[in-house]
Each structure stands twice: as structure tokens, then as C-alpha cells.
Homo-oligomer: A and B are copies of this chain.
Amino acid sequence: MKENKENVVISKATIDRLPLYYRTLKISQEEGIEIISSDELGRKIGVTPEQIRKDLSAFGEFGKKGVGYYVRELMRNIGEILGLNRKWNIAIVGVGHLGWALANYANFSSQGFQLQAIFDVDDEKIGRYINEVQIFHIDEIKDIVQSRNIEIGIITVPAQHAQSTAMRLVEAGIKGIWNFAPIKLDVPDNIHVVSEDLSVGLNSISYYLSRQNN
């Protein structure tokens, strides 16, 4: 059913929608839905059925004309595309409240993201554990990243330390960075950075409430 198309350039916008498809299919599956139309899937996500068909067509042929998508199968296929069919070792740098919250976020491990280490510079935190994962001093980052085969680093340090933290992660051999500090990181081209801006969700709410009030 799935057929990888090589040499197709896929837009970032399409890739950013795939996790939404995945999440919505997962919820549908948990609700016991076995087959879903692109109309219904689009309604749940807030994109047009045409967009869904176009997005998915970049990766192969999915679904049956006049029937819809098999929820479990499409979810598995999108999961494969997103690399969720394997384990990813991840590390968090910065044990403030956000770092602590992320270390406890159960959804990551259910998707194959395994927290292998946490780093900080505060002597009072080093040596402690969050959910059985040890907090190490940042000076140990290279050894730990390499010995534990960690590929993704999560930056939750204060903004003024984010760039130097990114460089330490890169030097340690990390390939992807998920950045929560509100600055643009300057890293080599082969490192994939996703910067999270927690305001986006609130912006969407204020947009809708502004319309209602008018």
C-alpha cells in the first residue's frame, strides 16, 4: 500500500501537518473508528480534504476511493514517515520548570522518544533523578551523548545560554535540536533545529475570540 516516492520535494508545511494527521488518527483509533474519509479527517484537523490528499500523495498511495482511509494503517504509515517506528534517544539540557515538565511528559516515550540523560550546571540538581533519568553536569555532555547514542537535544536553558548550549550539543554529536529558548540558534546546516514558541496556541485563541467579540 505504501510506496515511497523518491526525489519528490516535500514542503515544510506538509511535514508540519503530518504530526497533526498522526495525532488525529490516533485519537480516532482510540475512539474505535476504523475507517475515516478525507472530509472527516479534514474537519477534525481544520484543513481541506484536498490538502490531505495532496499531502499524503507525496508519500505514496493511501486510502481507497469511495471508502476512505483505514485509520490504523494510515496511522502506522504516517508514523513510519515521521520516524516513529524506531527509538530515538533524547536528552534535555536545563532543569527549570519547563525542563522538569518535559522530563515528565509521558507522550514522548509512547512515541519512541526515550529520555536518556538530563544536563544542568546547578550542583544541587546534579546526581538527582527525574523519573529514573539522571541529571548530569553539562561538562559530561560529550561522553554521555556518545556512550548513550543520543541524537536529539532539547534546550530549556535561559535564553542567554541557549546558543552556547546548542554548540555544546553539536560538538557532542547531536543531530537535531528542539529549542524552547526564544532566540534563533546559529548551528551548522546539517543540524535540524525546531524552535518552539509557546505563544502560538494563545495567538490562535485570541484570533477567534476577537472575531466573536466584533
Stretch from A100-108, A116-124, A161-169 contacting the other chain: A100-108
Q: Which residues of B contact A12 (CB under 8 A)?
A: 45-47
Nearest chain B CB to A148 CB, angstrom units: 16
Nearest chain B CB to A2 CB, angstrom units: 14
Size range of the chain A interface in the assembly: 35 or more
Cross-chain contact B197 with A151 (CB below 8 angstroms): no
Cross-chain contact B97 with A199 (CB below 8 angstroms): no
Cross-chain contact A18 with B207 (CB below 8 angstroms): yes
Q: Copy number of this protein in the oligomer? A: 2
Q: Is A15 an interface residue (CB 8 A)?
A: yes
Stretch from A33-41, A60-68, A69-77, A174-182 contacting the other chain: A174-182
In the complex, the chain B residue whose C-beta lies closest to that of A210 is: B83
Q: Which residues of B contact A147 (CB under 8 A)?
A: none
Q: Is A149 an interface residue (CB 8 A)?
A: no
Nearest chain B CB to A79 CB, angstrom units: 9
